[in-house]
């Protein structure tokens, strides 16, 4: 009798454990059913500079955020042809190849993010940007299969102004992020080329306006509202004394881009004009050069070099820079 009672008790306990496991399995299955986000639109027809806003709706709001990645996977455009209001991914952050992080906030029912095709310098035809949106990082929610692919059909944009950019320190690393170029100082430590200070100066028929802010890169523009006439473009090495002394001499390689966006663009290589041995105009002899000039006639802008040749590389010329206040 005792032996039979033991068998009965053991059998009952086994059934109870099996029932408990079955309940746990059901609860686990219920727990792993994830929320799903759906985009209100997946195809946009825009012009460079327009904003494409994607609105995501989640079927079951969560008490934690949901992480996604927006990745360019096709089309004729490139990664630097657009901007997203989410952080750019970097090497070793677990997000794979370069893209953008998109976050859906905790407790929210809807959330938006913007994709903006940049109104760049280059005259070009229509482009297509094809993106994939998918869970990443904490992966607390999924993306509706019909919302995974987002397509932007982008028409070329133009502006009736001239934009200029002077870059002497920015470069693109192997992953695709824009970073500062670095040099080794006589202290044995790496320093940014942005510690050296160049200025971009435009001398107009009525006044002087500048990209002389201490930033890298520097920007300036000739707006459509400016009076007609000739606009001289001057590049000035303002200061090298604020940077750490290089372990060996550096020959600077500034690049000046001048463009009527979407119409024409010219890149001037100003390598070999300045070195780290120069003090700069702020501390030593004048170190400015005349790079060329723009003629404005209504909404027509024409770029010339210092030899009056249209759209050519600038060079040093005997132009004296007048005194003016810099925005530093």
- In the prediction, which pLDDT does 308 show? 85
Model confidence at 328, pLDDT cuts 50, 70, 90, reads low
* pLDDT above 50: residue 43: yes
- In the prediction, which pLDDT does 233 show? 95
Count how many residues are written for the chain. 328
For 35-155, give the CATH class: mainly beta
- In the prediction, which pLDDT does 172 show? 86
* pLDDT above 70: residue 94: yes
> What residue ranges of the chain are covered by domains with CATH 2.60.40.2030?
35-155
* pLDDT above 80: residue 119: yes
Tokens found for residue 98: 């370069």
- Alpha-carbon gap, residue 97 to 222, rounded angstroms: 38
Architecture per CATH, 162-304: Sandwich (2.60)
**156 cis-preceded (ω within 30 degrees of 0):** no
- In the prediction, which pLDDT does 92 show? 85
User: In the predicted model, what is the mean pLDDT of the chain?
Assistant: 86
H or E segment at 70? strand 66-75
Cβ neighbours for 220, distance < 8 A, ≥ 6 positions apart: 163, 164, 200, 201, 202, 209, 210, 211
- In the prediction, which pLDDT does 323 show? 52
* pLDDT above 60: residue 307: yes
> What residue ranges of the chain are covered by domains with CATH 2.60.60?
162-304
> From the centroid of its chain, how far is CA 312?
28
- In the prediction, which pLDDT does 326 show? 57
Model confidence at 7, pLDDT cuts 50, 70, 90, reads very low
């Amino acid at each position: 009798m005792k032996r039979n009672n033991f068998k009965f008790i053991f059998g009952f306990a086994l059934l109870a454990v099996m029932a408990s496991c079955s309940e746990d399995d059901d609860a686990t299955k219920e727990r792993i059913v994830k929320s799903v986000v759906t985009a209100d639109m997946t195809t946009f027809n825009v012009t460079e500079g327009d904003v494409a806003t994607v609105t995501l709706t989640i079927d079951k709001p969560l008490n934690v955020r949901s992480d996604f990645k927006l990745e360019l996977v096709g089309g004729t455009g490139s990664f630097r042809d657009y901007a997203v209001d989410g952080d750019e991914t970097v090497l070793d952050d677990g997000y794979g190849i370069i893209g953008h992080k998109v976050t859906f906030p905790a407790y929210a029912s809807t959330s938006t993010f913007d994709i903006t095709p940049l109104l760049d310098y280059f005259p070009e035809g229509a482009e297509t940007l094809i993106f994939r949106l998918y869970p990443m990082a904490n992966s607390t929610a999924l993306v509706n299969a019909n919302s995974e692919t987002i397509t932007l059909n982008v028409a070329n944009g133009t502006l009736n102004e001239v934009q200029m950019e002077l870059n002497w320190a920015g470069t693109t690393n192997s992953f695709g992020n824009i970073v500062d170029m670095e040099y080794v100082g006589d202290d044995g430590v790496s320093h940014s080329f942005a510690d050296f200070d160049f200025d971009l100066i435009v001398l107009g028929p009525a006044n002087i306006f500048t990209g002389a802010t201490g930033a890298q890169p520097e920007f300036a523009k000739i707006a459509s509202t400016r009076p007609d006439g000739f606009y001289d473009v001057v590049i000035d090495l303002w200061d090298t004394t604020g940077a750490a002394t290089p372990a060996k001499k550096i020959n600077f390689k500034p690049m000046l881009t001048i463009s009527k966006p979407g119409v024409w663009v010219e890149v001037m290589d100003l390598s070999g004009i300045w070195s780290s041995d120069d003090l700069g105009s702020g501390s030593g002899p004048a170190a400015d050069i005349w790079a060329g000039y723009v003629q404005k006639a209504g909404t027509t802008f024409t770029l010339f070099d210092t030899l009056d040749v249209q759209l050519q590389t600038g060079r040093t010329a005997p132009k004296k820079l007048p005194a003016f206040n810099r925005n530093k």
